Amino acid sequence: MKIAVIGAGSWGTALAQLLAGNGCNVGLWARKPEVVRSVNGSHVNPRYLSDVELSENIVATTSYKDALLRAKAAVIVTPSNLMRGVACALADVVDADFPIIICSKGVEEGSGLLPVEVFEAEMGNASRLAVLSGPNFAAEVIRGIPTGTVIASSDEGTAAFFQELFAAETFRTYVSDDVCGVELCAAFKNVIAIAVGVSYGLGYGDNTAAMLMTRGLAEMSRLVVRCGGQAITCMGLAGTGDLVATCTSEHSRNRRFGRLLAEGGTLDGFIAETHMVAEGALACKTLKTLADRYDVELPITDVVRAIVWEGADPHDVAKTLTSRPLTTEFYGL
């Protein structure tokens, strides 16, 4: 079976290798011709995870049409701000029943739409769409280090198809019907990881990090429930699982970005240094659309947005969290 993987960053490369290991032929779409030449000639992605030899079953291309030719499904792994363009491009190539799973995380700026909603708006037929999320660092997945993930779809058959497709001895897959909850958790945890990174960069300790993670989980739950998701999803792999991993791991680019901010760095500087996108930087801005729409209080998200986009001093703005009025632990649910 051939599967198209759209996006050759670290996560796209890791998922392509996973699928190839499961016996699939993979058409890997990459934006840069030099990546295509290296993957096809040397079986190495020169920009991401370059110390791993890729399967010969992975064939890279800069053409959507070639990547999708004779493919039975597509895996979307591009940055969230490119979602609509990718959906439009694919709509001209695949039919209305073609299965698509979205592995990107975020909320569309302006509209407040989740990635699956963007794809539905451009391509129709939500029943063939699914999303994948969990505590899944690409550097560990590509090396076969055990992990679990959740696959959510409004259609039971679509969820089951992708569950079987991705399942491996070291990649355990679970299914859910809470697409909204899984996608919001995926976007939200990156924002909290930035906050944790800032706190460590300011010299605070593990107590502060634990407070930010648990209060971040409370923020996440409030928004998920108000948007129509299930609170229990926040306790699963896409919620607590991914939140803990992203806030504590050395692999976490959002946590690393937060520490850089506390030390006087910038988003542009981070991107130039790492060639990676810190998805939480955009999410802290786009989540405000949903917070305003549903009247949900997101104090940690507000602080991160002030630091990233409004030039607020991390030392000063961090104090606004501890000076807030006292309240009950769980409110707004």
Q: Is 331 annotated as a binding residue?
A: no
Q: Is 200 annotated as a binding residue?
A: no
Q: Both tokens of residue 79?
A: 């940055």
Residue 287: phi and psi, rounded to 5, are -65, -20
Q: Both tokens of residue 292?
A: 């305003």
Q: What amino acid occupies position 273?
A: E
Q: Is 134 annotated as a binding residue?
A: yes
**Known catalytic membership, residue 319:** no
Cα(16)–Cα(288) distance, integer angstroms: 33
Q: Both tokens of residue 27?
A: 């058409």
Q: Is 216 annotated as a binding residue?
A: no
| 8 Å CB contact between 33 and 60 | no
Angle between helices 179-201 and 253-262 (to 10 degrees): 40
Q: Is 53 annotated as a binding residue?
A: no
DSSP code per residue over 154-189: SSHHHHHHHHHHH-BTTEEEEEES-HHHHHHHHHHH
Q: Is 195 annotated as a binding residue?
A: no
Q: Is 105 annotated as a binding residue?
A: yes
Please compute Rg for the chain using Cα positions. Answer: 19
Strand-strand pairing, 129-133 and 147-152: antiparallel
Cα(314)–Cα(306) distance, integer angstroms: 9
Q: Is 11 annotated as a binding residue?
A: yes
DSSP code per residue over 259-296: HHHHTT--HHHHHHHHS---HHHHHHHHHHHHHHHHT-
Q: Is 111 annotated as a binding residue?
A: no
Q: Is 7 annotated as a binding residue?
A: yes
Cα(195)–Cα(201) distance, integer angstroms: 10
Q: Is 174 annotated as a binding residue?
A: no
Q: Is 10 annotated as a binding residue?
A: yes
The single residue of 2, 65, 72, 189 carrying the catalytic annotation is 189
Q: Is 177 annotated as a binding residue?
A: no
Q: Is 189 annotated as a binding residue?
A: yes
Binding-site residue positions for NADPH: 10-11, 31-32, 48, 105, 138, 253, 277, 279
Residues with catalytic function: 189
Binding-site residue positions for substrate: 105, 253-254
Binding-site residue positions for NAD(+): 7-12, 138, 253
